[in-house]
A = this chain, B = another copy of it.
């Protein structure tokens, strides 16, 4: 079957695919060749039918009784997500979070490669973090064009975030991955995706509140 092209693919499905990928790569490392949706679903709190429906969008095909070939499935998901070819990206903001992102080894297996860091703090410009030199913002636009960069990562404070996004867009960036909590504006035709940690935290603390308040009922 062909993978879905112009994305009627739901966000929920898209967000579950990397979960499967992690499980699959673990199985692959352990030498497992075939896997069923039932086996994958056991790792999560939802059922095998949902897994099957999700995998459908990637174009992967399984066989009755034996399931999907692990290696093939990994390839299909990665291709569908665009992780089979690693994309170069620019990072803006060399603070605490920026450093962590720079030092993260695994991004390449998620199709991402941070090739340069920018900051507006003169004390940081010129220093090296994880063997990458921190560059001034006026280098951003020419380098985006010269290196044909599509992805910009925003890890600056909330106040600076909109200005940084505007600069990235003006420079020709096609997609922005934003870590600041502020809601940002972006023109048509450019992708904005927010990595909001606090959303996850909100779910946690709310559940915890209920748990601590009334563990007797359910």
- Cβ of A125 < 8 Å from any Cβ of B? no
A23-B183, A83-B205 known; A7+B210 contact, CB < 8 A: yes
Given known A100-B96, A100-B99, A183-B22, contact A206–B110 (CB-CB < 8 A): no
Chain A interface main SS type = helix
A49 CB–B CB distance under 8 Å: no
Name the distance in Å between A60's Cβ and chain B's nearest Cβ: 15
Task: State which of B9, B177, B200, B210 has its C-beta within 8 Å of the C-beta of A204.
Answer: B177
Q: Which residues of B contact A6 (CB under 8 A)?
A: 210, 214, 217-218
Residue numbers of A with Cβ under 8 A of B are 5-7, 9, 11, 14-15, 17-19, 22-23, 26, 43-44, 80-83, 87, 96-97, 99-100, 103-104, 106, 110-112, 150-151, 158, 174-175, 177, 181-183, 189, 191, 193-215, 217-218
